[in-house]
C-alpha cells in the first residue's frame, strides 16, 4: 500500500498561522521572504536596524491587506537580539520560523583592509547569525514543538574571490555553523538549513544588471542558467524549508547559484 496521506500532501507547504521572524527585512531578499510568508498565511515579525524603513514596509504590507509586526535592532548585539525574540514571542505567542536575511560586505584586498573592517564583516555575517539563531532556538525549545531556522549564506561560502577575504570566510563559517547547529538542535525537532544564493537584484547590486557591461557579461560566463538572480528565485526555497515538506532535511547548504557551483 502506498504510504502517503492526502491530508499531508495538501498541507505540506502550508505556513498558515505559523509565526515567522525575518531579519534583514528592509533588504530586497528579506522583504520578499517576509511578504511571501505573509501571503502564505504566516504571522510575520520584521526586524532590521532602520525603524523608518521597517515602518515603510509595514505600510506597504497594509496596501496588500497583509499584517506584520516590526521591531528594530541589531542581531549582532545580544541584548537587541533578546529584545527581538521576546517581542515576537510575547506579541504573537510563539516563534516557529526564523529566516535570517541580513548581511554586509565591504570588498577590499587583504593588504588594504583593516582588521576593524574585517571584524565588522565577521560580526555582521557570522556572529549575528549565531546570536539570533541561538536565542531563537532557545525560544523554540521552550515551546517543545520544533521549529525551522533558515539562514542566508552565499555562493561565496565555498569559492574564494579576490577582495572577499572577510566575506568568504564569514559565509564559509556560516555553512559549517549551520551543519553544527543542526546537529545540536535535531533532538528538539528544530531543522537548520542555509540558502546559498548567487548575486541577485537589489538597490546595492542594480549596477551589475546592465546587460552591456563587462561585469554582467563576466557573470554570465559562470552562470549556466544564463542570467543573474531575482529575489523571486529564492522565495520558493525559503518557503519550502519553512514548511513541513522539509521536515527530514537539516544541515543542508542549498545551492541557489544558477549552476555556479557546478560550472
Point out the residues that are catalytic. Answer: 167
The answer for residues whose C-beta is within 8 angstroms of residue 71's C-beta and 6 or more apart is 45, 46, 47, 54, 83, 84, 87, 88
β-strand partners of 140: none
**Nearest-5° angle of CA 13, CA 245, CA 189?**
120
Backbone angles phi, psi at 113, to 5 degrees: -85, 130
Residue 124 and residue 102 in contact, taking contact as beta carbons nearer than 8 Å = yes
Which residue bears the cell 548581511? 103
The answer for residues whose C-beta is within 8 angstroms of residue 56's C-beta and 6 or more apart is none
List, edge to edge, every strand of the sheet that includes 190-197: 69-72, 43-48, 19-23, 97-100, 147-152, 190-197, 253-256
The answer for residues whose C-beta is within 8 angstroms of residue 122's C-beta and 6 or more apart is 166, 169, 170
- Determine which helix (DSSP H) or strand (DSSP E) holds 146, and give its type and residue range: none
Amino acid at each position: 500500500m502506498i504510504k502517503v496521506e492526502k491530508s499531508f500532501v495538501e498541507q505540506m507547504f502550508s505556513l498558515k498561522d505559523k509565526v515567522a521572524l525575518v531579519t534583514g527585512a528592509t533588504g530586497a531578499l528579506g522583504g520578499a521572504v517576509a511578504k511571501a510568508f505573509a501571503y502564505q498565511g504566516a504571522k510575520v515579525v520584521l526586524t532590521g536596524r532602520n525603524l523608518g524603513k521597517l515602518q515603510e514596509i509595514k505600510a506597504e504590507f497594509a496596501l496588500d491587506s497583509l499584517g506584520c509586526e516590526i521591531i528594530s535592532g541589531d542581531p549582532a548585539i545580544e541584548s537587541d537580539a533578546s529584545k527581538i525574540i521576546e517581542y515576537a514571542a510575547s506579541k504573537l505567542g510563539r516563534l516557529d520560523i526564523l529566516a535570517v536575511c541580513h548581511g554586509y560586505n565591504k570588498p577590499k584586498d587583504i593588504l588594504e583592509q583593516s582588521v576593524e573592517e574585517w571584524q565588522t564583516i565577521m560580526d555582521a555575517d557570522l556572529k549575528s547569525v549565531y546570536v539570533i539563531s541561538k536565542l531563537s532556538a532557545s525560544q523554540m525549545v521552550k515551546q517543545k514543538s520544533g521549529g525551522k531556522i533558515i539562514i542566508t549564506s552565499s555562493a561565496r561560502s565555498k569559492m574564494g574571490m579576490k577582495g572577499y577575504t572577510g566575506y568568504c570566510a564569514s559565509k564559509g563559517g556560516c555553512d559549517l555553523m549551520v551543519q553544527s547547529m543542526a546537529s545540536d538542535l535535531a533532538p528538539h525537532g528544530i531543522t537548520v538549513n542555509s540558502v546559498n544564493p548567487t548575486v541577485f537584484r537589489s538597490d546595492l547590486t542594480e549596477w551589475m544588471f546592465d546587460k552591456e557591461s563587462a561585469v554582467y557579461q563576466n557573470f554570465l560566463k559562470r552562470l549556466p542558467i544564463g542570467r543573474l538572480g531575482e529575489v523571486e528565485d529564492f522565495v520558493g526555497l525559503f518557503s519550502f524549508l519553512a514548511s513541513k515538506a522539509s521536515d527530514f532535511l537539516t544541515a543542508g547548504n542549498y545551492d541557489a547559484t544558477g549552476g555556479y557551483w557546478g560550472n
